[in-house]
């Protein structure tokens, strides 16, 4: 089962606005270096093309990856694939980092439009299927940001609107301006804080959920446990991969590994199958630079879990036992818990 090369990824509807995507997406970020060294354009394109041959049609990038080089690479790959069968997602909003390594986030209408135009050029496409606000600009009313995105939809430059790391209030207010198709959030066995309020809200509003880092930034694939994290990797300084925290977290991987043997699959497949089993409206976007890992990820679609299995897997990774924050200290202020925006002045909106 784990090596079933005939497995094809099925198609589902993401959100309630008509966007159909593969049930498993592909996060392209790592192809241009973050967790490892960048791969060559030739290798990156071959990974994307291989994913497509296995039924993955939903590809995720962003202007900040590289920066810019990831969109350029994805654009080159798209030239070798049927564009009408691809669902291309990219993002805007992260304008860099300041001297204290905190994100600079922008969401003014002018910035939205300039980013979209630049991404269209780098990707060399006529339209973007799903355009996300990557992080929320807490100095700009969300109505202003979404208002400009709505215009881009009307102009045919983007088809659907998404949000990432948005607070419940921001999601509601954005959705009132124009339907939000998808919300991209970190969600994995060891990062489950969105389950209490965010997930029910998305289901209430008909918004699809796109989990990023569904393998815990590679942790449940064995990175840093059975492999070693390169010193130049983004992960080397991640709170959950550092020193004593990593030592404490290793037993979580060991438990998952034991369960994976029971299910006759790899730990990464079981962790990904757990995310996939959260609902038909859940489309994770794991990334990799290796065909073997890609095959393993695709194999997770074939891992069938009962409700009892899901509970057993959840119980094997108790959230209270996870050591370290889910993200870097400098990035916490840009996360969804702090992503409310100023109220829109009622007179200005009439």
65 part of the active site: yes
The answer to whether residues 297 and 283 touch, using CB atoms and an 8 Å cutoff, is: no
Residues 92-100: contacts with CB within 8 Å, 24+ apart?
92/62, 92/63, 92/116, 92/119, 92/131, 92/132, 92/133, 92/134, 93/132, 93/133, 93/134, 93/135, 93/136, 93/137, 93/164, 94/62, 94/63, 94/64, 94/134, 94/135, 96/64, 97/330, 100/330
How far is it, in rounded angstroms, from Cα 92 to Cα 94? 6
Strand 103-105 relative to strand 94-97: parallel, antiparallel, unpaired?
antiparallel
Catalytic residue among 65, 131, 160, 253: 65
The answer to whether residues 19 and 13 touch, using CB atoms and an 8 Å cutoff, is: yes
Find the farthest-apart pair of alpha carbons in the chain and give their distance in angstroms, rounded: 62
The candidate with the shortest Cα–Cα distance to 9, out of 49, 53, 44, is: 53
Q: Tabulate helix, strand, coil % of the chain (nearest 5).
A: 45, 15, 40
The candidate with the shortest Cα–Cα distance to 86, out of 75, 101, 100, is: 75
Tokens of 177: 């301006």
Per DSSP, what are the bridge partners of residue 128? 158
Active site residues: 65
């Amino acid at each position: 089962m784990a090596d079933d090369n005939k497995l094809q990824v099925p198609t589902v509807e993401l959100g309630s606005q008509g966007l159909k995507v593969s049930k498993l997406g592909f996060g392209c970020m790592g192809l241009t270096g973050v967790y490892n060294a960048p791969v060559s354009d030739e290798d990156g394109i071959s990974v994307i093309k291989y994913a497509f041959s296995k039924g993955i049609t939903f590809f995720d990038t962003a202007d900040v990856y590289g920066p810019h080089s990831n969109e350029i690479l994805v654009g080159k790959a798209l030239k070798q694939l049927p564009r009408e069968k691809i669902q291309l997602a990219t993002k805007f909003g992260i304008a860099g980092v300041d001297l204290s390594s905190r994100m600079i986030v922008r969401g003014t209408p002018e910035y939205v439009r300039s980013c979209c135009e630049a991404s269209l050029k780098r990707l060399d496409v006529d339209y973007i299927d799903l355009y996300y606000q990557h992080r929320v600009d807490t100095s700009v009313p969300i109505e202003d940001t979404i208002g400009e995105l709505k215009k881009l939809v009307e102009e045919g430059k983007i088809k659907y609107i998404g949000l990432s790391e948005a607070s419940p209030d921001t999601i509601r207010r954005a959705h009132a301006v124009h339907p939000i198709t998808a919300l991209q959030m970190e969600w994995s066995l060891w990062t489950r804080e969105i389950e209490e309020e965010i997930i029910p809200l998305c289901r209430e509003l008909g918004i699809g959920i796109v989990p990023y880092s569904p393998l815990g930034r590679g942790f449940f694939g064995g990175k840093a446990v059975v492999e070693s994290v390169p010193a130049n990797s983004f992960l080397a300084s991640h709170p959950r991969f550092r020193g004593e925290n990593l030592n404490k977290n290793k037993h979580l991987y060991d438990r998952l590994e034991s369960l994976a043997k029971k299910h006759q699959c790899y730990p990464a497949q079981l962790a990904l199958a757990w995310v996939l089993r959260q609902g038909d409206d859940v489309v994770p976007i794991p990334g990799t630079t290796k065909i073997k890992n890609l095959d393993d990820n695709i194999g997770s679609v074939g891992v069938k879990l009962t409700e009892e299995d899901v509970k057993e897997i959840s119980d094997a990774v108790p959230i209270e036992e996870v050591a370290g924050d889910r993200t870097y200290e400098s990035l916490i202020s840009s996360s969804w818990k702090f992503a409310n925006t100023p109220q829109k002045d009622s007179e200005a909106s009439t």
